[in-house]
Amino acid sequence: MAKILVTGGCGYIGSHTLVDLIEHGYDVISIDDLSRSSLSALTGVEMITGKKVKNYKVDLKNFDETLAVFQEHPDISGVIHFAAYKAVGESVGNPLLYYENNLLSLISLLKCVKEFGIPHIVFSSSCTVYGNPDHIPVTETTPIQPAASPYGATKQMGEEIVRNLADSSDVKAVLLRYFNPVGAHPSALIGEMPLGKPQNLVPAITQTAAGKLPMMMVYGNDYPTRDGSCIRDYIHVCDIARAHTLALQYLASGKQQTPTEVFNLGTGNGITVLEAIHSFEAVSGVSLNYTIGPRRDCDIVAIYANNEKALQTLGWSIQYDLHAMMRTAWAWECRIQETEKQARNN
């Protein structure tokens, strides 16, 4: 049973990936400093899989603490690196925080990967590396434009750091460029749990529908799109999680042609913000209270994926459509509401 270290394992995509890895026979451990996540995610993972996952509350920027985890587990055969700050708007307001956290933690981790001869790493990247592309859908060879935010810049730099390590060592790497992860595990035992006011669309939708937020804002309806709102490629978090297991299996197969390979993870369908809202309303039966506001800094007009490489090379497939994404996100929000209600009554 191969042992995989998942950084950011208590986070949104990390916890769903732990489930997929366990369900496909992997032994897993997690590093998460819990600064923007909760151990409750691992409780959900255990309820789904029957497996208790050990988490190390370690700041990856601290090399000695990170090293200690590798020393305790010399049999780690692969690393999936999720741990990073990810709020685009926050990165614009506090860029140094993002450069320090996202890059120094990666460098510290990769020092350990190199020192312990870990053969495989999967890096959590993002479609933000494409900037504002000239043409869509984007392929893995679409020219990289200047990043629209410091967050996107850290992903561009992170990819280059991983690529440089792979070129200069025996490490083999896969870079997975996510588009817009949404939804929750169909059990509703794990899902997206934003701290404070949600920065992403779907948690804003579900929290507004649940009454946690009085109203949500749609940022701009004057873009050159079919209804004036931005276009994104929304992809279910379980589909993204599955791709990480497939990426590890691909690395282990020895079929990789180059030290680093890149894969887009999206559905290949561009959905407008207003279309996403209408999908939620259709599956939930809730009429959403939203208003149209001004455009937001660093939002690009439209982006969606060409995902043929992942489909063909990794054997990946899309299991969840937009309605399923919204349905599972709403089930997760309703479970949170019920849990909070029970806590108040007790």
From the list 26, 85, 130, 151, the catalytic residue is 151
Q: Are residues 25 and 122 in the same domain?
A: yes
Q: Are residues 19 and 86 in the same domain?
A: yes
The pLDDT score that the predictor gives to residue 27 is: 98
Q: Are residues 210 and 155 in the same domain?
A: no
The pLDDT score that the predictor gives to residue 196 is: 80
What pLDDT tens digit does each residue of the chain (346 aa) get? 899 999 999 999 999 999 999 999 999 999 999 999 999 999 999 999 999 999 999 999 999 999 999 999 999 999 999 999 998 889 999 999 999 999 999 999 999 999 999 999 999 999 999 998 989 999 999 999 999 999 999 999 999 999 999 999 999 999 999 999 999 999 999 999 887 888 899 999 999 999 999 999 999 999 999 999 999 999 999 999 999 999 999 999 999 999 999 999 999 999 999 999 999 999 999 999 999 999 988 788 999 999 999 999 999 999 999 999 999 999 999 999 998 888 888 7
Q: Are residues 156 and 258 in the same domain?
A: yes
Q: Are residues 240 and 291 in the same domain?
A: no
User: Does 88 fall in a domain?
Assistant: yes
Q: Are residues 109 and 208 in the same domain?
A: no
Q: Are residues 49 and 120 in the same domain?
A: yes
Question: DSSP of 93-112, one letter per residue?
Answer: H-HHHHHHHHHHHHHHHHHH
Q: In the beta sheet, which residues pair with residue 235?
A: 181
Q: Are residues 252 and 326 in the same domain?
A: no
Q: How far apart are CA 297 and CA 318, in angstroms?
A: 31
User: Does 45 fall in a domain?
Assistant: yes
Q: Are residues 179 and 208 in the same domain?
A: no
Q: Residue type at 303?
A: I
pTM above the 0.95 mark? yes
* CATH code (residue 176): 3.40.50.720
pLDDT tens per residue, range 192-242: 988 788 889 999 999 999 999 999 999 999 999 999 999 999 999 999 999
The pLDDT score that the predictor gives to residue 238 is: 98
Whether the CB-CB separation of 192 and 184 falls below 8 Å is answered with: yes
In order of 14, 84, 124, 222, the CA distances from 21 in angstroms are 10, 20, 15, 43
Q: Are residues 257 and 331 in the same domain?
A: no
Q: Collect all residues with Cβ–Cβ distance below 8 Å to 268 and sequence separation of at least 6.
A: 137, 233, 304, 305, 306, 307
Q: Are residues 226 and 247 in the same domain?
A: no
Structural domain span for residue 297: 201-230+269-307+319-345
Whether the CB-CB separation of 19 and 45 falls below 8 Å is answered with: yes
Whether the CB-CB separation of 272 and 225 falls below 8 Å is answered with: yes
Q: Are residues 260 and 276 in the same domain?
A: no
Assess whether 290 carries a catalytic annotation.
Answer: no
The pLDDT score that the predictor gives to residue 194 is: 84
